[in-house]
Amino acid sequence: MDARNVFVVGLNAFNRERLEHLRGASEYRFHGVIEPEAVYDTEIFPIEAMLNQATAQLDAFAGRIDAIVGYMDFPVSTMLPLLCERYATPTASLESLLKCEHKYWSRLTQREVIGNYIPRFTAFDPFDDSALSRIGEAGLYFPFFVKPIKSSGSRLGFRIDSPEDFGAAIARLREDIGLISEPFNFILEQANLPDAVRAVDGGFCMAEEIIGGWQCTVEGYVFQGEVVPYGIVDSIRYPQVLSFFYYRYPSRLPTHIQDKMRELTTTIMTHIGYDNAAFNVEFFWDEVQNRIWLLEINTRISQSHCDLFEKVDGVSHQQVSVDLALGQRPDMPTAEGAYEVAGKFFYRVFFVDAVVTRVPSVQEIDALQQRFPGCVIALQVGLGTRLSTLPEQDSYSFALAHIWMGADSDEALLADYTALAESLTFEFEEVIG
């Protein structure tokens, strides 16, 4: 049998290395579609041009197109249904995907079946000078959280504790929301939307009741209508701030809470009609009130979790995406990896802005990776990088490095990261004015 051709949007070296280790990979040929820089290192998303480029590349391929996959959030996630429909490869429908990714439509859909597990919410136009009053009329009062109808990562998300906070957030939203709203509106134009959803386009924002607690992500997939949650990853934040410290797999949540999250996941994904694709659902468990909240649904696996699954289960959960894209039930192992626990750490600084004047050398990184076997260090900055130009950052900090590590216990994992972090040396020059 000829090798099967799997096309990966934005394929880079980091993903290719893990793809080559998947079960059945010797029978596949992985091909890149669109250069990785176009989707990883930019906040500019000319999605119509990107679709045309991807189509031209795929049309020019002389062989059979067996699967098309991607691991990025917007714009890659929203491109896949359009590309897969054109080339008759399996994935979720565009409408079911948008019921997850359009935050307002997603909340409306969630309210139909799991209303007790979502916060109060309303949509608003950030260019409406009376927006704050309209939010109050909808029953939301300080504090609350605002974010675009469609965002990528944690960008343009703000906690609002006062009218001054709201004014500052609105200024940022008005300045930057067009970077995503315009390309997202192009995607919306391709879909069959209810009138109530069509009226709330990518230029709108969400205001939501503050929810919180122990945050985690349920990774799962749907195959021929069967919802399968296969792993839960904890998301641990720095004390007193919204920025993530590290992701940990497997979860340490109580078993009955994990079971309830899997049940809620199955209920909502079935109701949405999402099928033949991977997803993940982010939850909070408020331990004090013993209440579970659904934060959001993402229509992809988390790239950040790939190395965690490889370390603990024996293979990256890219296995799930590739198998589904080929129309077959995922062959995902459990607990066959080299480690009991794994984490992805975010080495951050909490600056307003700065220019990087020193980063760890290649030799320093190699020495650390030898000192901590299995460790992967990926710098996110270089000499001369101005922190405020970094894409995919939250509103409160800058991630200088991503670090994946495995260990035999939670305590050993944290101890190893602490020792590694103390050996990483960055230097900065303050930005004046």
Of 67-71, 350-354, 388-392, the poorest mean pLDDT is in 388-392
Q: Is the pLDDT of residue 326 over 90?
A: yes
Please, what is the end-to-end C-alpha distance for the chain in angstroms?
63
The CATH code belonging to domain 120-209 is 3.30.1490.20
Helix extents (H) in 61-140: 76-87, 94-101, 103-114, 131-137
pTM: 0.94
Q: Is the pLDDT of residue 146 over 80?
A: yes
Q: Classify burial at 44, counting beta carbons within 10 Å of its beta carbon; exposed 0-12, middle 13-18, buried 19 or more.
A: exposed
The first and second tokens of residue 99, run together, are 């019921």
- The answer to whether the beta carbons of residues 15 and 303 sit under 8 Å apart is yes
Tell me whether strands 205-209 and 121-124 are parallel, antiparallel or unpaired.
antiparallel
How do the domains of the chain map onto residue ranges? 4-92, 120-209, 342-433
Look at 379 and 241; give whichever has higher pLDDT.
379
Query: Span 361-376, mean pLDDT?
Result: 96
Interacting residues of 244 by C-beta distance below 8 A, sequence separation 6+: 235, 236, 237, 238, 346, 394
Q: Is the pLDDT of residue 42 over 80?
A: no
Confidence tier at 156 by pLDDT (50, 70, 90)? confident
Query: Span 35-49, mean pLDDT?
Result: 83
| pLDDT given at position 293 | 98
| pLDDT given at position 316 | 96
Q: Is the pLDDT of residue 21 over 70?
A: yes
The tally of CA atoms less than 13 A away on the side-chain side of residue 335 is 3
Look at 229 and 238; give whichever has higher pLDDT.
229
Q: Is the pLDDT of residue 202 over 90?
A: yes
- The answer to whether the beta carbons of residues 270 and 112 sit under 8 Å apart is no
| pLDDT given at position 153 | 63
Interacting residues of 411 by C-beta distance below 8 A, sequence separation 6+: none
SS3 helix, strand, coil % of the chain, rounded to 5?
35, 25, 35
- The answer to whether the beta carbons of residues 43 and 67 sit under 8 Å apart is no
Percent above pLDDT 90 for the chain: 87
Query: Span 379-398, mean pLDDT?
Result: 88
- The answer to whether the beta carbons of residues 23 and 334 sit under 8 Å apart is no
CB-CB neighbours of 179 under 10 Å: 18
Q: Is the pLDDT of residue 74 over 70?
A: yes
Q: How far apart are CA 373 and CA 305, in angstroms?
A: 18
Q: How far apart are CA 18 and CA 316, in angstroms?
A: 6
Query: Span 272-297, mean pLDDT?
Result: 97
Confidence tier at 426 by pLDDT (50, 70, 90)? very high
Interacting residues of 274 by C-beta distance below 8 A, sequence separation 6+: 92, 96, 97, 99, 100, 222, 299
**Average of per-residue pLDDT values in the chain:** 95
The first and second tokens of residue 90, run together, are 């399996």
Q: Is the pLDDT of residue 43 over 80?
A: no
Q: Classify burial at 255, counting beta carbons within 10 Å of its beta carbon; exposed 0-12, middle 13-18, buried 19 or more.
A: exposed
Residue 272 backbone zone (phi > 0: left; psi -120 to 50: alpha; other: beta): alpha
The first and second tokens of residue 429, run together, are 């020059």
* Beta partners for residue 356, in sequence order: 428
| pLDDT given at position 433 | 60
- The answer to whether the beta carbons of residues 233 and 307 sit under 8 Å apart is no
| pLDDT given at position 257 | 98
Q: Is the pLDDT of residue 38 over 90?
A: no
Confidence tier at 102 by pLDDT (50, 70, 90)? very high
- Which uninterrupted H or E stretch holds 355? strand 354-358
Q: Is the pLDDT of residue 345 over 90?
A: yes
Query: Span 169-197, mean pLDDT?
Result: 94
- Which uninterrupted H or E stretch holds 249? strand 244-249
- 131-144: pLDDT as tens digits: 999 999 999 999 99
The CATH code belonging to domain 342-433 is 3.90.1170
Q: Is the pLDDT of residue 395 over 80?
A: no
Confidence tier at 39 by pLDDT (50, 70, 90)? confident
Query: How far apart, in Å, are the Cα atoms of 238 and each of 34, 156, 368, 390, 420?
Result: 35, 19, 23, 20, 17
- Which uninterrupted H or E stretch holds 415? helix 410-421
- 2-19: pLDDT as tens digits: 899 999 999 999 889 999
Percent above pLDDT 70 for the chain: 98
Query: Span 304-319, mean pLDDT?
Result: 97
| pLDDT given at position 154 | 66
